[in-house]
Structure 1
Amino acid sequence: MRFLGKGKSNTELVRLLKEGDMMAFDAIYDTYCHKLHQFVLTYLKQEEDAEEIVQEVFIKIWKSRDKINIYSSFESFLFTIAYNATMSLLRKRVSESKSREYLRSIQQVNTAEPVISEIQFKELEHKVQSLLEQLTPRQKEIYNLSREEGLTHHEIAIKLGISESTVNNHLVAIIKFFKSHIDSSLAVNVLFLCLFFS
């Protein structure tokens, strides 16, 4: 049996995950994040889409952790969720030709002085708070330490007893998740990045 984390087996980590252990979640995330990304990327061919799917998979794993059967293949369970999410996104993308145009337009923006109404600002603020509630406890913890307390990746890693790469992976995943659920208008997206991820 393969051993992950600090001397714990895959089965033991899954058992701890079912109990809400965030260190076990981090160990599983570090083990499967890259593999899932490569798996999804073979179908989607787009980095942005693959990263979004991986983020959604781990959110689903955390939310449904109490339903995981530790005596079944966790890897099979994980990749089945990823495959189903990938097929769902592919069906959605068939009728969304505007997505690539939007990504290109974002890359062409050099300055950010968005014109946005107070109503849009309030809606954006409410949306971000709502999305924060959908993150795993570990992701919310890292987000708050980084954005609210202003700690560096190194300081967060020391405080939580995890690696800097884990901190970075979580923050990248959070940004991807947020961006995929924020209003598609350029002004709102730029304001979002300036306010919450500057």
Structure 2
Amino acid sequence: MVSRLQPTNEEPLIELQRIANGDEQEFRRLFHYFSPRLNQFAFSIIRVKEAATEVVDDVFIRLWKQKEKATTIANIRVYLYVAVKNSALNYLSSKANRQITEPFNHLDIALSRDQLPDQKMISAELQKRITSAIEALPPRCKMIFKLVREDGLRYKDVAEILNLTVNTVDAQMVIAVKRIAEKVQSHFTSFPKKSVKK
């Protein structure tokens, strides 16, 4: 039986058996597809771009060193997110006494174009309010929203990655969507009413 990462939307088909056999090209496909998303995820925890990249690179290096075990991974997507999360938390723990002075733009989250109809019709002010609402979410709520809406992960996968229940993920998504909707609604209700000539 060949262990694979089944494609969703434009996600490539990754054959873990080939990676286990030492196929560098297949491993590079895995790396190039997931590393940008994992870098953003690590950055949302560590808040330092260089360190986040280092954490992700280390996860892939360890995976390659243990490539013979690749076929034992039931869900490579969840495996990578969990590994990055744990490595990022370990980094924070080991660097707890280190003062980080690098400027930080936390979680630069943008809703995907295919998730918002008529994207071109949304005003710059409205998009600004959406971004502001996302930034104002509590850290865990914001991370869950990002994993679901931006990375396209299922509630079940997010729950496993963050060691939460599916109900908790669902509840946090409800909170996130409600707060963002309130921001959007206030945008429309704040428009001055046009006077009607009689």
TM-score by length of 2: 0.44
TM-score by length of 1: 0.44
- In terms of fraction of residues, the more helix-rich structure is 1
